[in-house]
Every structure is written in structure tokens, then in C-alpha cells.
Structure 1
Amino acid sequence: MKRKIAPISVFAGSVLMMLTACHHQSQEAEPALQDVSFVTVKTQPLTVHSTLPGRTSAYEVAEVRPQVNGVVLARYFNEGTDVKKGQPLFLINPAPYQATYDVNKAQLAHAEAQEKTAAAKLERYKALAPAQAISRQDYDDALATDRAAKADIAQAKANIELSAVNLGYTRVTAPITGRIGRVLTTVGALVTSGQSSNMAIVTRLDPIYVDVNLPTVDFLRLRRELKAGTLKRNGNDAEVSLILDDNSTYNQKGRLALSEVSADTQTSTIVVRAVFPNPEHLLLPGMFVYGRIEEGVDPNALLVPQESVFRNNHGDPMLYVVNKDDVIEARPIKTGEAIGTQWAVTSGLQKGERVLVSGLQKVNIGDKVHPTEASLTKDASPEKKGGKA
């Protein structure tokens, strides 16, 4: 009896060991799911901006040139100071123009005396002509003389006005209110009317223009989005902010004044001009700046963290999305501007989808994962400065 029981026990033990090994192999064949974090995409209002390079230009510029000939006798301003419209700047020798004015006044007095004599003679001939006490020729001559005397008076008055204008031009005044630059003509220099060189330049600095170049592609996109209602604009004038060359933000807001009616054929851009207050004269003409134009508000913008976006072999932006079965999917997208630490997504993503934000290097397309929702940081405000992806 004992000899029969032993083989059965050995056989049972072998079966048990085989089952145990199979159980261990089954456990090894089912690895734990990879832990990943995701954010759920939500829509939110987003103020859309375009940041474009540009340069400042003066609101008004007046080149001071002489309008009469003569020697400069005096200068009445200090270089680099503010001047008012009509303020005297230079004095050109007025002596010859004063003399011409006096001569013209004397000629006017002579013409008026001649006219009185001619008028009196004409009155006498009018009484004698009906009685034929004088010839018709004498009467006609008296009438012509009177009319000539009146014309001489008119010409003398015109000469006085012209000489007065030239005499006034000897006092060179500021044509506009602004800041005058360095002196280009010194006292003692001979100046001539119509000369090409300036005596000085007066520049109005407040307000000041900022001209930026808007690509025609962005111009067409803006028009389409406004027409479709994707962007909503408050008021007619878009607000413009300014970023200076040292990356500081100018403390005054500007407004769009105009856009050119034609595009530049060389650069495919449209010049857009903004007007900025410049009470402290911080901005000077010719400075390089960035104009940040407020295009409108997208009420249904989609934002994703920048760390969730990666590039494929072609350089196109991509996302990993966790589907409803907790399986990883790759999603090609198109990005807009960077808003703080987030990208604005313009296409390829829908509201409510789960975007992977951590563990991207540990998963592959088609992997099943263990997802956990992450919270967005608060440093990505829709009002922050951004650029294009």
C-alpha cells in the first residue's frame, strides 16, 4: 500500500509547483500602469495681441530756413530748449528791407497826391464837356490820367505789403511749438532765400507717432476673425502698448491712428501708425520699439501648458492626449501666441480633452496609463506678453 501512495504524492507536488510558476509568470506579464498627469482643456476669454517692430517718428517737424537774403545778426534761443510757435529765433539784417519799405511808403504818398490832382481836373472837365468848352480828346485824357493815378496807388500799396512781409521775414520765428535742436547757422553767416540747408530744426515731441509694419497675412487673418465673430473688439480704436529697446514697457497707452491704403510690394507689409502721449519726452524720433496691438478678444480660447507641447520630426507642434479609455493618442495642433507659460491652441484640440503634461518621455502612442489631473499654475494670465510659436 505504501509503495502506491508515494508516486501519487510526487505527481501532485509537481502539478502544484507548475501552477505556482504559471501564476508568477502571469503576474510578471501584467506590469503596473504608468502614472501620468493631465489637464482638462477649458475655454476662456483671451485678449489677442500682435507684437510688431517699429520706429518712432515726430508728430510735427519744421525745418527753419531763411526767406530773405542777408547776414544773421542775432540768435534768440538756446540749443535743445523748448520754443513756442511765433517765438523769435534769428534776426537777419533788416536795414535794406526797412529802406525798401520806406521807399514804397513814399511812392504811395506820391501816387495819392497825383491822384488828387487828376481827380480835380477830371471834375472840372466834366462840367465843361457838355457845353463843348473843351474837346472830347481833352476830356478822355483827363479821365485816363485819373484812372492811372488810382492804379499807381494800388500798386504802391501792394509794394508796401510786399516790403512789409520781407521786413517781417528778417525776424525768423518758430513755425511750430516744440524742441529746437542744435544751431546749424551761426551769427555772422550769410543766408539766402530758398537755400537747401537749415538754420535749425524744431520738432514736436508730444504726442509722437509709432509706425509698425503689419504683415498682410496677419492683416487678412484679423479681418476674417473680426468678420466671423471669433474676435470681438471694444470700440473703434484699438489700444496699443509699447515695449522699448531695453525691454521695458512704456507707461503710456496709445491708439491706432491709421493704416496705409496699400501694401509694400517688397516686404508684403502694411504700415500701421499709432499715436502716443509723450509728456516727459522719453520717446525721441527714430527710436526702435515694439508695438503691441490689441486685435480683439477671443471668447473661446484654448490654452495648454508649454511643457505639454513637443515637436515631431518635421518641426510641427504635437500633444499627447489621454482618451476616454486612458490610452495615449498623439494629436497635431496649431499654436498661436505664448501667454505666460501657456500656448494658445488655434486648431487640433477640443474643449474637455485631457492633455498630458507630465510623463511624456515614459509613454508611447497606444499605451494605457494611470492618469491624474494636475492643476494649472497661476502665472499664465491671458494679458501677458507673448509671441508666435
Structure 2
Amino acid sequence: MTCTPLGSSTAYLCSTKKPFRAFLIAFLISTSLGSGIAQAQQMRGAAPKPEVGVVELEPESVAITAKLSGRIAASLDAEVRPEVGGIIKERLFKEGTEVTAGDVLYRIEDDLYKAAHDSAQAALQKAEAALPSAQTKVERYEELITQNAVAKQELDDAKAALAQAKADIASAKASVQTARINLDNTVIKAPISGRIEASTLNVGALVTASQSAPLTIIRQLDPINVDVTQSSTNLLKLRKAVREGRIKLSGDNVQVRLLLETGEEYSETGKLEFSEAHVDPTTGTYTLRAEFPNPDRLLLPGMYVQAIVEEGIAQNSFLVPQRAVSRNARGEPTALFLDQDGKVEERVLRVEGDIGNNWLVNEGISEGDRVIVEGSLFVRAGQEATGTLVTIDEATGEVESRGEAVSNTSETSD
């Protein structure tokens, strides 16, 4: 046993060596742990609130658009065919260039048609030459009949001969006109203005009247049409929204924009011309046609494009940045908000569609609500946080700049 004096007194503390050492070690450990826990609690109490970036939402009138796929089509197509047969004598246009209505495109050998025209002219002259004699005979017989010098039958025959002479003249004139038309049709002219395609036949080729294969095709490219398809389901949804007052139609003058195959937007704005009055039973879609100016001939028939059609206006709606919206376990779109007390709140949203890098929401949000767009991964519902106003770049959907910190009701009351 070992005894240790207590200070300067005569009292002693006696103990075995090993139990005393264990007691001393346990005492030091418990003291150290208690100090560490107290220090951790002190540090935890002094930790700052997490910072989040928020956007204050304001109601606005939002243009509802539909992005539809389609193809470019010429506003006018004309297939050039010969109306008379013969050998092509000349081709008077340059392939792939612009032509004007009335420009001469081809000439066909016209010798036979000239001869036919001359023959018809001669027949007309012959018929016209017989008319005066027949007319004079009728007039003479009409005088003689009053004197009973000729029989009434002879007068009737003279009148019939006069009518026949007049009919011969009319028939000859029609033959002359037909010959004139055929002769004129040996010169093939452009029926419309536009860009002319390649010629399918060259000089020396034989053509026939109203042949099935066209000589060439002319397409009018300015203005130009865009044919797009819309599903009947989307049409019904739009009309339901209109009935419920959530969307107001744009009216008759509906604007349309184009996205080209390269992803860039076409510089000119078009307008919706018409929509078909029936739905294709095989695809469940109907066709809309828009017309666009095409002064530079950038748009060509057959190109694939996407048309952005303004369907209507959603009044008193909110645009929530897409970066702020996620989905819960049930697949519902949700977002975190910072309330007036500085606490994080999770809400389920009713999303109507996408507008650029935003979601269109018309339920679950009030004016002035602050949606968290930055730092949402570091906070949870019910937790307090410090908010900073941020600006979102509409083109990219990313945070563009940061502003001042938002004030909370609890901070104001303090």
C-alpha cells in the first residue's frame, strides 16, 4: 500500500498503485471529452445560416407558343409543258435563275403552224368573198317577189345560201383563231414569276402536246410557305385553357418565327395563313400553313424547320427558372421557396409548359414569392437561410449577377 500526504497536514491518502492510476486516467479522459463536447456545442450554436440565391416572382402576361416541326414549300409551283407538238428550236433561259411571268422560255419549230395559219386565212378570205354575191341575190329576189317575177322557193334558197356564206365566214374565222393560237403556242412563256429549275429537254428534242413530263418547273420563293403539323391533343388542351380563361387567343394576326436546321432563328417574322379543318386519321395531326418573306432566297422548298407559333396569352402567370424546379418521389414538380420569416418552404407546382429556360406556372405561387435558384442542395424544408437576390440570364438560364440580401420579417421585428 502506498500513502501520499495531503498538503502540509498530517493526513495521508493511502491506496494501491494500480487502481489509483486507472482512476486518474478516467478522470482526465472525462474532463477532456466534456470540454470537447461543450466546445462543439458552442461552435455549432455560432454557425452562420446557409446562403441561397433567390428570384422574386411577379405575375405577367406570357405569350404561349408551340414549337412545331415542318417543311418549307414554295408559295406557287408551275410545271411548264408544251401545248403543241414539235421540235424544240431554242431554249431562252438560264437554268436556276429568276424569271418573270411572260418571259419566253422555249421556241418550237413553227413552219407547219405558220402554213396552217395561212391556209386558214385563205379559207376565211374565200368565205368572205362569197358573202356579197349571196347578199345581193337575196336583195334582188326580195324586190322581184313583190312583182311575182320569181317563185318564193327561189327566195328561200337565196336566203339559205346567204346564211351558209355567213356560217362559212364564222367557221373560217374560228379556224384562223385556232391556227393563230397553235402558232403562238410554239413560243412557250413563263406562266408565273419565280426561280426556274433545270430543263428536262434540250434543243432538238421532240415534244408533244400536254405531255406528262414537264419541260421545267418554276417555283415562287418570295413569299414562301411553311407547312407544320400540330397534334389534335394539343389543340384540345389549348381550347380547354381558353374556355377556362387561363389563355387568351392571339387573334387573327398570329405571328410565327422559324428555327433553321442550324439552330439559328430566321430573321423574318411570318404570319399564320390557315389551318386545315380536318385531322389526319392515321397520324392524329392537322396541318397549319404560315407565310414568310424570303427576299434573300435563304429558305428553299423541302428544308426542315421548326416553327414557333404564338397560340395565345396566359395572363397573371409566373415564369419560374427551370434550374429551381425538381421532382419529388411521386414525380410532381416542386421548388423551394424562402418565406418572409427566412425559412425554407417546399411547394408542389402546376407546370403548364416551358417558355425558353423557364417553366410557366399559374398555380401555387403568389406575387412577391422568392424561389430559390442557387444553393438549394444545401438547405431543406423548415431550415432557416439567408437569401440574396440574383438575376437569371434568359438566354442561358444561368445566374447572371447577384444583388443585395433580402430582408426577413423576423429580422425586421428584431
TM-score (ref. length: structure 2): 0.79
Q: Deviations over 1:276-298 (max 9, x none)?
A: 11111111111111111122333
1:166 is matched with 182
**Higher-Rg member (1/2):** 2
Distance (Å, rounded) in 1 between the aligned partners of 2:40 and 2:74: 80
1:370 is matched with 384
The secondary structure found in structure 1 opposite 2:360 is strand
Distance (Å, rounded) in 2 between the aligned partners of 1:184 and 1:113: 48
Flag the structure with more relative contact order, 1 or 2, with Cα contacts below 8 A and sequence separation at least 6: 1
AA matched with 1:334 = V
Counterpart check, 1:189 vs 2:215: no
2:334 is matched with 318
State which drifts further: 267-276 or 220-229.
220-229
AA matched with 1:35 = P
Corresponding pairs, count: 361
Residues 63 and 313 in structure 2, CA contact (< 8 A), matched pair in contact too: yes
Q: Deviations over 1:42-90 (max 9, x none)?
A: 2123222221111110011110000001111111111111111111110
Unpaired segments ≥5 residues, structure 1: 1-16, 383-389
AA matched with 2:326 = F
Counterpart check, 1:339 vs 2:353: no
Distance (Å, rounded) in 2 between the aligned partners of 1:351 and 1:76: 69
Q: Deviations over 1:336-367 (max 9, x none)?
A: 11433x32224443434443334433445xx5
Shift of 1:26: 12
Counterpart check, 1:118 vs 2:134: yes
1:78 is matched with 94
The secondary structure found in structure 2 opposite 1:45 is strand
Residues 96 and 198 in structure 2, CA contact (< 8 A), matched pair in contact too: yes
Distance (Å, rounded) in 1 between the aligned partners of 2:55 and 2:87: 79
The secondary structure found in structure 2 opposite 1:112 is helix
Counterpart check, 1:214 vs 2:212: no
2:216 is matched with 200
Residues 44 and 300 in structure 1, CA contact (< 8 A), matched pair in contact too: yes
AA matched with 2:272 = L
Aligned ranges 1:51-62 → 2 under 5 Å: 51-62=67-78
Shift of 1:165: 0.6
Q: Deviations over 1:6-30 (max 9, x none)?
A: xxxxxxxxxxx9xx99x959958x9
Counterpart check, 1:379 vs 2:393: yes
1:305 is matched with 321
Distance (Å, rounded) in 2 between the aligned partners of 1:128 and 1:314: 114
Residues 36 and 369 in structure 1, CA contact (< 8 A), matched pair in contact too: no
2:63 is matched with 47
State which drifts further: 172-181 or 308-317.
308-317
The secondary structure found in structure 1 opposite 2:174 is helix
AA matched with 2:316 = N
Distance (Å, rounded) in 2 between the aligned partners of 1:206 and 1:251: 14
The secondary structure found in structure 1 opposite 2:230 is strand
Counterpart check, 1:289 vs 2:302: no
Match of 1:250 among 253, 257, 266: 266
Q: Compared with structure 1, are the counterparts of its residues 219 and 201 closer, same or farther at alpha carbon in structure 2 (3 Å cutoff)?
A: same
Match of 2:50 among 11, 35, 48: 35
The secondary structure found in structure 2 opposite 1:132 is coil
State which drifts further: 247-256 or 309-318.
309-318
The secondary structure found in structure 2 opposite 1:197 is coil
Q: Compared with structure 1, are the counterparts of its residues 249 and 381 closer, same or farther at alpha carbon in structure 2 (3 Å cutoff)?
A: closer
Shift of 1:248: 1.4
Distance (Å, rounded) in 1 between the aligned partners of 2:90 and 2:346: 82
AA matched with 1:377 = T
Aligned ranges 1:119-158 → 2 under 5 Å: 119-158=135-174
User: What is the RMSD of the two structures over their aligned residues, measured on CA atoms?
Assistant: 2.9
Q: Compared with structure 1, are the counterparts of its residues 55 and 314 closer, same or farther at alpha carbon in structure 2 (3 Å cutoff)?
A: farther
Residues 96 and 197 in structure 2, CA contact (< 8 A), matched pair in contact too: yes
Q: Deviations over 1:193-218 (max 9, x none)?
A: 12100111111111100111122233
AA matched with 2:254 = A
Shift of 1:332: 4.5
Aligned ranges 1:232-247 → 2 under 5 Å: 232=248, 236-247=252-263
TM-score (ref. length: structure 1): 0.84
Shift of 1:266: 2.1
State which drifts further: 312-321 or 149-158.
312-321
> What percent identity do the matched residue pairs reach?
38
Shift of 1:105: 0.7
Shift of 1:324: 6.3
Distance (Å, rounded) in 2 between the aligned partners of 1:96 and 1:211: 47
AA matched with 2:301 = P
The secondary structure found in structure 1 opposite 2:384 is strand
Shift of 1:116: 1.4
The secondary structure found in structure 1 opposite 2:354 is strand
The secondary structure found in structure 1 opposite 2:219 is strand
